[in-house]
Structure 1
Amino acid sequence: MTSATSLNTEIDYPDSDGKPMAESDYQRPYVAYGTEVLNIFFADQPQVYVSGNLLIYYEEGNPKACVSPDVFVVLNRPKGKRSSYKVWQENNQYPDFILEITSRSTVSEDQGIKRGLYAFWGVSEYFQYDPSADYLEPPLQGYQLIDGNYFLLPATTLPNGGLSITSKVLGLELHLEQGELRFYNPATGEKLLSHAEAEAARQAAQSKAERLAARLRELGIDPDLV
Structure 2
Amino acid sequence: MTLAKSSELGITHLPDHTELPESDGTFVKNFQEHPQSLLLTDSITDVLQQLHPDHQFAIGQDCGIYWRLTEPPEKGAEAPDWFYVPNVPPMLNGKFRRSYVLWQEYVAPLIVLEFVSGDGSEERDKTPLTGKFWVYEQAIRVPFYGIYEFSKASVEVYHLVDGKYQLLPANERGHYSIPPMGVELGIWQGQYKNMTAPWLRWWDTQGNLLLSSDEKSQQLTSQLEEVSSQLEQEQEKAERLAEKLRQMGIDPDQL
Indicate the residue corresponding to 1:58 in structure 2: 67
- The 8 Å contact of residues 97 and 169 in structure 1, kept in 2 or not, is answered as no
Render the CA deviation track for 1:177-210: whole Å, top value 9, x for unaligned: 3443221121x64321222221122112212222
Q: Structure 1 residue 156: deviation in Å?
A: 1.8
Aligned equivalents of 2:107, 2:203: Cα separation in 1: 26
2:36 alignment partner, one of 20, 30, 37: 30
How far residue 75 of structure 1 moved from its aligned partner, in angstroms, is 2.1
Equivalence for 1:131? 150
For residue 151 of structure 1, report the CA deviation from its aligned partner. 1.0
- What is aligned with 2:113? 99
Bigger relative CO (Cα 8 Å, ≥ 6 apart)? 2
Number of residue pairs matched by the alignment: 207
Is the contact between residue 119 and residue 149 of structure 1 (CA under 8 Å) also seen in structure 2? yes
Correspondence list, 1:195-214, <5 A: 195-214=213-232
Offset at 1:98? Answer: 0.9
Residue pair 2:63, 2:99 contacting (<8 A) in 1 also: yes
* Corresponding residue to 1:152 among 167, 186, 194: 167
Q: Would the alpha carbon gap of residues 104 and 4 (structure 1) be closer, same or farther in structure 2, given more than 3 Å must change?
A: closer
SS in 1 for 2:117: coil
Instruction: Note the alpha carbon deviations across 1:26-82, whole angstroms, 9 max, x for none.
Output: x33222211222333212412322222112122246522112111111122122242
- Deviations along 1:122-154, one digit per CA (max 9) or x if unpaired, are 1111112222217xxxx1211111222211111
- Counterpart-to-counterpart distance in 2, 1:16 and 1:210: 52
Equivalent AA in structure 2 for residue 171 of structure 1: G
Q: Equivalent residue for 1:224?
A: none
CA pair 17-194 structure 1, distance change in 2 beyond 3 A: farther
Counterpart for residue 192 of structure 2: none
1:83 equivalent in alignment to 2:98: yes
CA distance change for structure 1 residues 55 and 40 in 2, over 3 Å: closer, same or farther? farther
Q: Which runs of 4+ in 1 moved over 4 A?
A: 6-9
Asked if 1:19 corresponds to 2:37, the answer is: no
1:183 and 2:194 correspond: no
What's the CA shift string for 1:86-142, capped at 9, x where partnerless?
Answer: 11211x22212111122226x2211112111100111111112222217xxxx1211
Amino acid of the structure 1 residue aligned with 2:113: L
Asked if the contact 1:60/1:88 (under 8 Å) is kept, the reply is: no
- The structural deviation recorded for 1:21 is 4.4
Q: Distance in 2 between matches of 1:201 and 1:4?
A: 55
Q: Distance in 2 between matches of 1:103 and 1:20?
A: 11
Distance 2:200 2:224 in 1: 27
Greater mean deviation of Cα atoms: 194-203 or 37-46: 37-46
AA partner of residue 107 (structure 2): Q
Residue identity opposite 2:30 in structure 1: E
After TM superposition, the score normalised by the length of structure 2 is 0.71
Conservation of the 8 A alpha-carbon contact between 2:177 and 2:185? yes
Q: 1:21 to 1:196 in 2, by over 3 A?
A: farther
Amino acid at match of 2:109: P
Q: Distance in 1 between matches of 2:230 and 2:115?
A: 42
Deviation, 1:8, is 4.6
Q: 2:237 aligns with which of 177, 200, 219?
A: 219
- When residues 104 and 146 of structure 1 are mapped into structure 2, their CA distance, relative to the original with a 3 A threshold, is same
Superposition RMSD in Å: 2.6
